[in-house]
Amino acid sequence: MTVKTAFIVLLTSINLFAAVRSTGQSGEQSKQEKTSGLEAITLFFTGNELGAMQPCGCSGGQLGGLDRRKSIFDTANPQNRLIFDTGVLAADSTEQSLIKFNIIIQAYTMLGYDLINLTKPDIDIAGQTGLLDGLNSVIGCITAVNLEDKKLPERYVKKFTLKGKPIEAVITAIETEDQISRLGEQFESPAGSSTSVNIVVLNNRDTKTIGNIAETNMADLIIVSAQSDEPAVISEPNSKPLIIEEGRIGKYIGQIEVTYDDVGQKPEFSFTSIAVTDDIAQYKPLVELYRDYQELVKEANLIEKMPRFVLPDNLEYAGSKNCKLCHDYEYGKWLTSKQVFIPGLKKQASADSRHADAFATLEKVNSHYDPECVVCHVIGMQYQTGYVSPGKTPEMKDVGCENCHGPGSEHIKSLGAIQTSGPMSTCTDCHTAEHSAEYNANEKQYNEKVIHWREPVSKTKVKEPNIPNINIDK
């Protein structure tokens, strides 16, 4: 199956959800729920997904995962909740991001999202994948982007009944200052209709724009672009409107409880940031959907297609086995690295997590065709003569000598007379907060796991290893 064919299949499967979702009236998404006994409305929001459908599975302890969101959303009665995303579903417009965009749209329909605010990058990707024309019939969409054909509305309305009285949640998106003048039109309700909760999604965090929106006294809640992973309130305590930054890459879900002392008065908000931890139950259909994504990535053969830099000075990667002739001790230590106990860690290092078996950890979770994962589990994938595939470059599998010491061709040919040089990786190139949640503050213990050289011996005792930088040439 080609990637183009896969898009068509995904679009067809997504459209199956359209039959059970309301498309609203008068050009805007609207849905009446019978919720006469409810005391509060729950708003769930996410944003800046940036293609992060699952956290890296290398070390455990990471936050995130689309398949865990349903357990969070289900804590609220479906009849009195509103689930929306503020946009930027994918990080860029690469082939892999196009696949991710399709999968995320399908996941959102399965999770019961009411609305997506489509930003300019989202609209560009939706156009490339052929989803833009039919997307609004599948899931609620708004946009602040100026579209000549006006296919997408600027606001979304969902209706509730609270304490026996009608309530509307109204969401509109803003990208530029001139759109503020239309807020009265966006938040206007028909005469004699319900009380409304007016929400603005701002596609930036410009201080002047935020202030101008607040001065209109029309918005109850403003959600702005994120500066950190966790959503947070950035307005002054007890001030109105409530201003929240949205968070990013799916580590947290924003939750807002909306209540009224007396329906017809201004709403009261209670905000909570919910961490998507790895002990939250997974939703099996989304686990299966992620496997579909892995198969699409495999069929697209993305690793072999990726561009590769030319190494400087005619250097080439040689593979770790070619280092063994002169560095037999170091090679043996690297190959047979043992379990090291690290106090305070939730999970301890095991025999199958050493660098010499790094590729096998991907094979166990079927991520060994995903370039975003593979790059940290092989030698030199970004460069010519580096890793291409298990069949073509088996000697480049796993994290080996040349990851840290640089390409070895000239060093090997000269029997060590020519020192190795860059490109060289450091620990934090791969052990980032997203990929290795427990590395930070445990650097020394992690470094001890990869000691594979002889330490100097004093007359009295062996010195404690001091490893400020392991990128040294042996």
What residues are paired with 252 via a beta bridge? 275
Lowest-confidence segment of 4-8, 44-48, 199-203, 250-254 by average pLDDT = 4-8
Domain count, the chain: 2
Q: What is the mean pLDDT of residues 201-230?
A: 94
CA gap 4, 293 in Å, rounded: 14
Q: What is the mean pLDDT of residues 366-391?
A: 96
* Residue 263 placed within a domain: yes
Q: Tell me the per-residue pLDDT of 180-206, one tens digit each, with 9 for 90 and over.
A: 998 998 998 655 556 889 999 999 999
What pLDDT score does 177 carry? 86
Q: Model's pTM, two decimal places?
A: 0.86
pLDDT range class, residue 234, cuts 50, 70, 90: very high
Q: Tell me the per-residue pLDDT of 80-129, one tens digit each, with 9 for 90 and over.
A: 999 999 999 999 999 999 999 999 999 999 999 999 999 999 999 999 98
Residue identified by tokens 């349903």 is 70
What pLDDT score does 439 carry? 84
The strand order across the sheet containing 140-142 reads 140-142, 115-117, 81-85, 41-46, 252-259, 268-275
- Are residues 354 and 276 part of one domain? no
Locate 381 and state its tokens. Answer: 């994938």
- Are residues 399 and 268 part of one domain? no
What pLDDT score does 409 carry? 97
- Are residues 278 and 370 part of one domain? no
pLDDT range class, residue 4, cuts 50, 70, 90: very low
CA gap 4, 41 in Å, rounded: 41
* Residue 305 placed within a domain: no
Amino acid at 287: V
- Are residues 271 and 318 part of one domain? no
Q: Are 90 and 51 in contact (CB under 8 A)?
A: yes
Query: Between residues 332 and 114, which one has the greater pLDDT?
Result: 114
- Are residues 223 and 175 part of one domain? yes
What pLDDT score does 371 carry? 97
Q: Are 208 and 217 in contact (CB under 8 A)?
A: no
- Are residues 401 and 282 part of one domain? no
- Are residues 276 and 323 part of one domain? no
* Residue 281 placed within a domain: yes
Query: 131 lies in which domain range?
Result: 3-286
What pLDDT score does 251 carry? 96
Residue 202: give its domain's CATH number: 3.60.21.10
Q: Which residues contact 236 (CB under 8 A, 6 or more apart)?
A: none
Peptide linkage before 231 cis (omega within 30 of 0): no
* Residue 464 placed within a domain: no
- Are residues 209 and 77 part of one domain? yes
Q: Tell me the per-residue pLDDT of 58-92, one tens digit each, with 9 for 90 and over.
A: 667 789 999 999 999 999 999 999 999 999 999 99
Written in H, E and C, the secondary structure of the chain is: CCHHHHHHHHHHHHHHHHHHCCCCECCECCCECCCCCECCEEEEEECCCCCCCCCCCCCCCCCCCHHHHHHHHCCCCHHHEEEEECCCCCCCCCHHHHHHHHHHHHHHHHHCCCEEECCHHHHHHHHHHCCHHHHCCCCEEECCCCCCCCCCCCEEEEEEEECCEEEEEEEEEECCHHHHHHHHHHHCCCCCCCEEEEEEEECCCCHHHHHHHHHCCCCCEEEECCCCCCCEECCCCCCCCEEEECCCCCCEEEEEEEECCCECECCEEEEEEEECCCCCCCCHHHHHHHHHHHHHHHHHCHHHHCCCECCHHHCCCCCHHHHCCCCHHHHHHHHCCCCCCCCCCCCCCCHHHCHHHHHHHHHHCCCCCCHHHHCCCECCCCECCCCCCCCCCHHHECCCHHHHHCCCHHHHHCCCCCCCCCCCCCHHHHCCCCCCCCCCCCHHHHHHHCCCCCCCECCCCECCCCCCCCCCCC
pLDDT range class, residue 454, cuts 50, 70, 90: confident
Top-ranked range on mean pLDDT: pick from 160-169, 223-232, 431-440: 223-232
What pLDDT score does 443 carry? 87
- Are residues 150 and 49 part of one domain? yes
